Structure 1
């Protein structure tokens, strides 16, 4: 099974040449599931969601799972932010802000980490942690993934403030319930990391995979526009993670980094220490 994670598209700030290249590579990769981990728009305007709809219409017909980011809530329209903060998001993606995908072998649980009362910060409420834990525990899937917008880990000191409130409780509960991978965006800084580095006693084969910004000109530290590819090969019981970066030389996206994720019950062969 092949999944593509797109994050921080920020329609309203998109680079047209990168959008075109992204459409082309998604057609080439033929994913079985498309994951959008928030900040789909820059200012949650209807026209920006419509730009995303036009982008999605150019892609192959693929199941889609999307969660909101803080930029998908209105900033300047205070009435809408108070009364119907997710109205435009729901018009595009449906009413469920925490959707779930389930197959015989793969489970992906979405979690809404945004808070309408906060402009930037995210959180994992006690109720959300419990709800996701139940979904993980009830599933017999071999691969269990949770996707939110806000991160649970940071590799740069400046991003410590972006870790969602309640992250430790969420990571510990979900890893006990069988989560192997947490996907997020928000910080426009892609990386992959074992979660036991921040949270001792969490299984060493429980990871987080941060996505960069897929098509926006709002890149950080000269990082390329990028997306994440997650591939589950059931015959070999391999979960492969790779980051694909945009190259203006081609122009197009190329695989820039790849990692085989060791699953529970298998030896930790990643070499990470």
Structure 2
């Protein structure tokens, strides 16, 4: 059995150190095949927050792939947000959208953040045409028969959690992913775990959200998801809650 640990929203700068230590200890004890991090490593995209996040992720001593979250874009510097939004990711660039060498499994990234949106709340999700095409190309390049999981920060459609993503173009993207053969979408952002089997024209696709390891909890204590994969496309998601 292949085991992936799906973690999100660790928010260095507002991290829960006890939760981070618990997760790291679990990784060291159980040795999952890989860790999938679906964004919001930091609270305010400050350099020292990225450095702390990189050090923590490297300390897990497992293959890690990271997707970008809205909190990982510069918050107080509009110029940096619009022109050089990922400059401070240098400490993490080896992990950003890193391909994972897992036999029978393809993790394909999808960008759902935006430097600018025509609405007041820029923290919400957005899937642009270029981002969708890039993800669809990644699905097409996956070995035939692989389980295909999409890694995104924002849920593509809301799943009834207290917080929302309100991802623009999310439903359209979800239909395209299902049609292309994706089996599931791993996401974060809402700080509560969820799992929904979403019917789409191309077939049912499972939406799996991870909780948080930060102080910014909602309805669930600090948690992460364990993705258990058996026999190709058969997989289960188990929520692991601290204490």
Report the TM-score when normalising by structure 2: 0.89
Q: Secondary structure at the match of 2:214?
A: coil
Q: 1:28 to 1:158 in 2, by over 3 A?
A: closer
Q: Does 1:218 align with 2:216?
A: yes
Deviation of 1:237 (Å): 6.1
Aligned equivalent of 1:143: 147
In 1: Cα distance, 2:18 partner to 2:224 partner: 15
Once the two structures are superposed, what CA deviation does each residue of 1:11-36 show, in whole Å capped at 9, x if it has no partner?
01112222211111111220111111
In 2: Cα distance, 1:94 partner to 1:155 partner: 31
Aligned equivalent of 2:10: 9
Q: Secondary structure at the match of 2:91?
A: helix
Q: Does 1:228 align with 2:225?
A: yes
Once the two structures are superposed, what CA deviation does each residue of 1:49-77 show, in whole Å capped at 9, x if it has no partner?
111122123312x2211111000001112
Deviation of 1:96 (Å): 8.3
Aligned equivalent of 1:244: 240
Q: Secondary structure at the match of 2:189?
A: coil
Q: 1:71 to 1:105 in 2, by over 3 A?
A: same
Deviation of 1:97 (Å): 5.4
Task: For 1:106-121, list aligned pairs within 5 A.
Answer: 106-118=105-117, 119-121=122-124
Deviation of 1:158 (Å): 5.6
Q: 1:157 to 1:211 in 2, by over 3 A?
A: closer
- Kindly indicate whether the alpha-carbon contact (under 8 Å) linking 2:162 and 2:190 is maintained by their aligned counterparts in 1: no
Aligned equivalent of 2:180: 177
Aligned equivalent of 2:35: 34
Deviation of 1:186 (Å): 0.6
Deviation of 1:191 (Å): 0.5
- Kindly indicate whether the alpha-carbon contact (under 8 Å) linking 2:188 and 2:210 is maintained by their aligned counterparts in 1: yes
Number of aligned residue pairs: give it: 237
In 2: Cα distance, 1:83 partner to 1:237 partner: 40
Structure number, greater radius of gyration: 1
Q: Secondary structure at the match of 1:101?
A: coil
Task: For 1:191-210, list aligned pairs within 5 A.
Answer: 191-196=194-199, 199=200, 201-204=201-204, 206-210=205-209
Q: Secondary structure at the match of 1:230?
A: strand
Q: 1:130 to 1:30 in 2, by over 3 A?
A: same
Report the TM-score when normalising by structure 1: 0.80
In 2: Cα distance, 1:63 partner to 1:155 partner: 29
- Kindly indicate whether the alpha-carbon contact (under 8 Å) linking 1:194 and 1:208 is maintained by their aligned counterparts in 2: yes
In 2: Cα distance, 1:88 partner to 1:153 partner: 29
In 1: Cα distance, 2:242 partner to 2:102 partner: 31
